[in-house]
Amino acid sequence: MLESVRRGVAFLREKQVLHKLGVAVSLAIIAFALYILYHMLSDLDLDDLLEALRQIDGMTLVMAGLCVAAGYFTLTFYDLFALRAIGHPEIPYKVAAFAGFTSYAIGHNVGASVFTGGAVRYRVYSSWGLTAIDIAKVCFLAGLTFWLGNAAVLGIGVAYHPEAAMSIDQLPIWLNRLAAFLILAILAGYVAWVWTKPRLVGRGSWTVTLPGGQLTLLQIVIGIVDLGFCSLAMYILMPDEPYVGYVVVAVIFVSATLLGFASHSPGGLGVFDAAMLYGIMHFDRQFDKEELLAGMLLFRVLYYLVPFVISVILLLSREVIVGARARRLTAGLKKLEDVQAQHSP
């Protein structure tokens, strides 16, 4: 049966059915999100929105910014973990942190983060002798950490507060809770599966050894901490009234993030925003729309725009420094050749 499934997947890949289906799903998500945004923001008062932005005090922005910084700091361990897992302990943390931060900051904004983030990583890691296959393995393991963390946060959050998920998917509470326990059961089964013996995925030189049980638990913790800080930043920027618990915001935030990721739109633009607005407003209709949107706009600035600008500056600075070193090395070699030529008989 497993072989039949593999043949079926291979056939779909050969005919590019999976690719076409993925594009169709992405476009459908984006179209539906834009439809939701249009209807939810049709009566938006721009003056009230600007006033809501002015009322957010500086301390709130600082606290949210620190949470975003902590989230990106946690992201750097995605790459460090992946590098150690594929057998490259010689690459120091500062290099992994640079590659991890810049690849995610650019990938989050440009979209198609698998390709854009991979290109940034290749530019950084290739100077340390890593091949394209090594970079692909790093991307795979970093992505695995991301998905394990999402599964854990959604499973725990929805099991504890299924009403939060209901505000987005409109499913009954019992069904959301059942889905949460199913996610946690699958997660526990995966941990047990990799704990028993080394597990390999891929073929030939593309083979990756999955982290064992203890390392997988570490992956889950890293993912939870990352998402925890990011959702906390969003929670801090939300209006004070009416009161909504952090777990509710975290569940809606992670759900909106996953929908934005599935759409492949740059920064989840439109999709993340529609899902957040829809989820929060349906959980409690007493929220002021302009105040809620003001917090979301500031979150976009802190989480997407600022890291993107910083990462571009860092990458450009690195290219200038690397280029200058290469020119000095070339000039030094040329002088050495000239000296040797002068002293040669």
The pLDDT score that the predictor gives to residue 208 is 86
Burial class, 154, CB count within 10 angstroms (exposed 0-12 / middle 13-18 / buried 19+): buried
Count of other CB atoms within 10 angstroms of residue 197: 7
Residue 249 belongs to some domain of the structure? yes
Distance in angstroms (rounded) separating the CA atoms of residues 213 and 219: 10
- For residue 336, being part of any structural domain is answered with no
Tell me which amino acid residue 63 is: M
Backbone φ and ψ for 201, nearest 5 degrees, come out as -130, 150
CB 299 within 8 A of CB 233: yes
> Based on the structure, what is the number of domains in the chain?
1
Asked if the structure places residue 27 within a domain, the reply is no
**Alpha helix stretches (DSSP H) within the chain:** 2-14, 17-40, 46-55, 58-85, 93-110, 113-125, 132-160, 162-169, 173-196, 213-237, 246-263, 271-283, 289-300, 306-343
Q: Could you write out the three-class secondary structure of 58-109?
A: HHHHHHHHHHHHHHHHHHHHHHHHHHHHCCCCCCCHHHHHHHHHHHHHHHHH
Query: Does a structural domain hold residue 164?
Result: yes
DSSP category for residue 242: S
Q: Tokens 């002088």 appear where?
A: 335
Per residue of the chain (345 residues), give pLDDT as tens: 434 534 544 544 555 554 566 566 666 766 766 666 666 666 677 777 788 788 888 899 999 999 999 999 998 999 998 998 888 888 999 999 999 999 888 887 776 666 777 888 888 888 888 888 888 889 889 888 888 988 999 999 999 888 888 888 888 989 999 999 999 999 999 999 999 888 888 777 788 888 888 888 988 999 999 999 999 999 999 888 888 889 889 999 988 888 877 777 766 777 888 888 888 888 877 888 888 888 888 998 899 889 999 998 998 888 888 777 666 766 666 665 555 666 655
Residue 40 in any domain: the answer is: no
Predicted local distance difference test score (pLDDT) of residue 3: 47
Q: Has residue 38 been placed in a domain? A: no
Let me know if residue 140 belongs to a domain: yes
| 247 inside domain | yes
What is the sign, positive or negative, of the torsion defined by CA atoms of 132, 134, 135, 141? positive
* Gap between the Cα atoms of 68 and 76, Å rounded: 13
Q: Which two tokens stand for residue 257?
A: 């993030």
Domain that residue 182 falls in: 59-323
Predicted TM-score (pTM) above 0.85: no
Cα–Cα nearest to 238, from 64, 89, 118, 11:
64
211: helix, strand or coil: coil
Whole-angstrom CA distances from 155 to 14, 42, 129, 210 are 35, 34, 39, 22
